[in-house]
Amino acid sequence: MTPEQIDAVLNHFIVDSLEWLTILFPEFETYTVNRRAALVDMSFMGHATFCQFHGMIGAIAMNCWATAAQHALDSLWARQVGRRAYDDAELMING
């Protein structure tokens, strides 16, 4: 793939994720840029896997960002991606 093709695929994925996250979280557009960035980054795991984060999703719906971050960190995903999970959790907590 050319760099342009790679950028096009990435952009398509990001737009798709933003649309999907807006459906999943009706308040998504009101979240801070950092919190939206963390959720978009996490959406790279795939929508089906993301939806298995019931505790995190519920905490976000209640605007409990520290709890949501802890749920994310207490997962196989966090063990698999290492530092990236802590970066996303920090974005969630600090907004």
**1, 26, 47, 56, 59 from 23: Cα distances, Å:** 31, 6, 12, 16, 16
Q: Which domains does the chain have, with CATH numbers?
A: 3-94 (1.10.530.40)
Q: In the 8-state DSSP scheme, what is residue 95?
A: -
Kindly give the confidence (pLDDT) of every residue in the chain, 95 residues in length, as a single tens digit, with 9 standing for 90 and above: 899 999 999 999 999 999 999 999 999 999 999 999 999 999 999 999 999 999 999 999 999 999 999 999 999 999 999 999 999 999 999 98
- pTM metric for this prediction: 0.91
